[in-house]
Amino acid sequence: MRKYNVAVIGVGAVGKEMLRCLHQRAFPFKEIRVFARSQRDITVEGIVYRVEAIENAQFDNIDIALFAGTEGEKGASLTYAHKFVDKGAVVIDNGADFRLDPKVPLVVPEANREKIFNHQGIIANPNCTTIQAVVALAGIYKELGLKKIILTSFQATSGAGRKAMETLWEETKEIVKINEGINELPQRKKLDKSYQVFPCQIAFNVIPQIGSFEQEGYTTEEWKVVRETHKILDDNSIKISATCVRVPVFTSHSEAIYFETEKDTDGEEIREILKNSKGVKFFEDNTYPLPLDVEGTDLVYVGRLRKDIYHKNSFWIWVVADNLRKGAALNAIQIAEELPPFL
C-alpha cells in the first residue's frame, strides 16, 4: 500500500484532533508535518510533534494538507492553501473561507462522497453544525426528499476554540469560589473579563448568538446551516431556518431538528431509514444521546424521533455529535481516506 505525506496546519483543538484521528484510523501516512504560526514542540497522545513555523516554510513533497481552521476567523488557508496546491498537494480545509466557492466541493462523505473527485486542489469541510445535521438527514433526503428543515442547535464551547473552553472553566471556578459557603442562591457578581471570549457570561448561561448578525437578523452561524446544506445536497428548494445557541458544554453539539418530507411517509419508514443511515446510531423509543456521552466518538447519534401531530410528513429528531471529531477533524480525515487512489 502506498503511503502519503500529510501536513496538519494548526495545533488548536481541531488540529490536535486531526493528529489523533490519523493515528486512530491507521491512515496510511509516511510522514506527518505540523505547521503553525510559531515553531515549538507539542505532545498529542504521547507522540511528540515538531511544529514548523509556516511563514517561509517549504511545502514540497506533501500529498494531503489538512487545514484545521478556526470558526469565525479568516483562516490560514487563504494565505497558504494555494501554495500547497501549487506544490502538488490536495488541501482539505476546515475553515469557512472556501465553503461557498463554486469551484470548491463542500463534502460530507455520507451525503455527497462523489463530489470529492471533482476537486481542483481544494476540498472544503462544512461547519460542524451543518455536518451532523446533514449526516442525520442525508438518508431521509435521498429516499423521501425534504421540503423544510427547522434547526435549533445547542453548541459546545469547543466550537469556538480552546480559549472558549477555558472561559467556561474559569468562569465556573470563579462563580463557585464567590459563592463558597453561601447557603442560598448563587450570587451574581461582575466576573473577570481577562479570559472571556464570548459577549456574555457562558457559565450557567446560554447565548443565542454564534457569529455576527447578518440579513434578516440571522447570525453567520445560522446562515451557514442554510447555505451549506443547500450546497451539499445540491438543492436550494429546501426551506431551512436555524437558531444557533452557545451552551455551557465543553464538547459535543446537540440539535433539535424539525423536517418535512416531499413524499408521503410515516414514523416507521423514517425509523428504518435512520437505522440504516451510514454514520448514524439510532436510539429507539424514548432513549436519547447526550453530549457528555458521545464525546470522543465518531458517529452522529439520533434519538427522540416523533411525528408532528398537526402536520403531515413532518417529524422531530434529536441529534448529537462530537463537534471536534465528526464535526471537524474526522470529517476531514474521511475525505482524505477517499483521496489516495486518485492523487
- Which uninterrupted H or E stretch holds 128? helix 128-144
SS3 36: strand
Question: What is the separation of C-alpha 47 from the centre of its chain, rounded to a whole number of angstroms?
Answer: 25
Distance CA 191, CA 200 (A): 10
Is residue 234 within 8 Å of 115, Cβ to Cβ?
A: no
The Cα–Cα gap between 76 and 54 comes to 9
Closest to 94 measured CA to CA, from 330, 337, 340: 330
Our answer to whether residue 119 is catalytic in this structure is no
Among 21, 119, 244, 253, the one annotated catalytic: 253
Alpha helices in 234-306 (DSSP H): 267-275, 291-294
| Cell matching residue 211 | 457569529
Residue whose C-alpha cell reads 429546501 in the numeric block: 238
Count of beta carbons in the 10 Å neighbourhood of residue 262: 15
- Distances from the Cα of 183 to the Cαs of 175, 180, 186, 187, 206, in angstroms? 14, 9, 8, 11, 25
Q: What is the CA radius of gyration of the chain?
A: 21
Active site residue 200: no
Catalytic residue among 128, 200, 230, 311: 128
Catalytic residue ranges: 128, 253
